[in-house]
Structure 1
Amino acid sequence: MDQGKSEQRAGEFASRYRVWLLAQAKNLCRNTTDAEDLVQDTLLRFIQTFGQVEALPNERSCEAWLVTTLSHRFYDQCRRQRVQAQGAKDPHLSNEVVEAPGSDSRPVYDTLTDEQFSEALQTLSPKMRATFELHAAGKKYQDIARSLDIPVGTVSKRLHDARARLREFLLRHIHSGVN
């Protein structure tokens, strides 16, 4: 096995999926700078993980790995920001924590835990949740429609409704916990 060729193959695959992954990251972050940082970190991890193997797994497995890693890195980033914000509010820790610049403009949903998001997902109907999860996994509207045997317009409507319900539930949950 030639390590240089393996790294090159992994790098080429990562380059092909960069734009697609960036779109996924922007959906999560709603901030281009954070999304680009997440994508760079995810692609670097991909190359480090698969740059040593003789052959890459199949394309679907690689896509799933990228989306899963991106999501996990996003949640890690949210947790870090939450810890920093909580530390800044604690008078005993305020001298030890450096607040990130621009943290006042941080979106409210950055304070969500994985459990709160999972609870919000459970409020969706099974059809809406299935559609939302396929889209969150990076599937295009046409692929979701084919997979669920529904029209593309139905996919669009379900995703719109799912986002609205999730936003409503999560904002209610966040505001009830903020004092």
Structure 2
Amino acid sequence: MRQEQGQQAGTFAMARRDRLLGQARKLCANPTDADDLVQEVIARFIEEFGDNPHLPAEASGEAWLVKTLTHLFYTQCRRQRTQLNRAQDPALSEHARETSPIPACDAITPEQFSEARGTLSPKLHETYELHASGMKYEEIARRLEIPIGTVKKRLHDARSRLRKYLQNLLKLGPP
């Protein structure tokens, strides 16, 4: 029974592998890292849900996969940044921060990014969130019943507005 449950979890995750791989390729610098990231997410899904008698609902399971993929990617980025700074503990590495400035995107907190997303119009926000969840342009166009060119324009506008808002926020500095 346990093996059968693990197989069900594996089948569920593997059925979404291509979508996860597409999302990972948007995040990662190279295809090998993207593939490794997806394999790790699938392994964690099986580990998490393989012993459960019931898998999560389809939408919940997909959300878990995408969220885990994103969190793993950011964890890897933090780990790499720490290694690049040659710091055993970033909290103790004042010298590392003085010698290598923090890239602007690393200075943005999740709360600041949420605040920036909140400034988008409802149409831009919805389009941006669908894309951020891993949907391709064609899928977004079908779901919103708009032309693919409109999806591209909305994403361009959303990114431009987010960039401008966050750049202004960084210029102002902490309150």
The alpha-carbon distance between structure 1 residues 76 and 174, as it changes in their structure 2 partners (threshold 3 A), is farther
Equivalent residue, structure 1, for 2:51: 52
Taking the TM superposition and a 5 Å limit, the aligned residue runs for 1:28-177 are 29-32=27-30, 34-80=33-79, 85=85, 86-87=90-91, 89-91=93-95, 108-174=104-170
Secondary structure class of the residue paired with 1:124: coil
Q: Which runs of 5 or more residues in structure 1 are unaligned?
A: 95-103
TM-score by length of 1: 0.71
Equivalent-residue separation in structure 1 for 2:25 and 2:139 (angstroms): 20
TM-score by length of 2: 0.73
Equivalent residue, structure 2, for 1:101: none
Q: Contact (CA 8 Å) 1:141, 1:156: kept in 2 or not?
A: yes
Deviates more, 1:71-80 or 1:57-66: 71-80
Equivalent-residue separation in structure 2 for 1:81 and 1:172 (angstroms): 27
The alpha-carbon distance between structure 1 residues 116 and 37, as it changes in their structure 2 partners (threshold 3 A), is farther
Off by >4 Å, runs of 4+ in structure 1: 78-89, 171-177
For 2:149, the aligned partner's letter is: G
Q: Which runs of 5 or more residues in structure 2 are unaligned?
A: none
The alpha-carbon distance between structure 1 residues 83 and 171, as it changes in their structure 2 partners (threshold 3 A), is farther
Q: CA deviation at 1:142?
A: 3.5
CA RMSD of aligned residues (A): 3.2
Deviations 1:65-111 (A, max 9, x none): 111222233344445556665558513xx6xxxxxxxxx8x975344
Equivalent-residue separation in structure 2 for 1:170 and 1:25 (angstroms): 24
Q: CA deviation at 1:156?
A: 1.8
Q: CA deviation at 1:174?
A: 4.9
Equivalent-residue separation in structure 1 for 2:143 and 2:168 (angstroms): 33
Equivalent residue, structure 2, for 1:97: none
For 1:114, the aligned partner's letter is: P
Q: Contact (CA 8 Å) 1:7, 1:51: kept in 2 or not?
A: yes
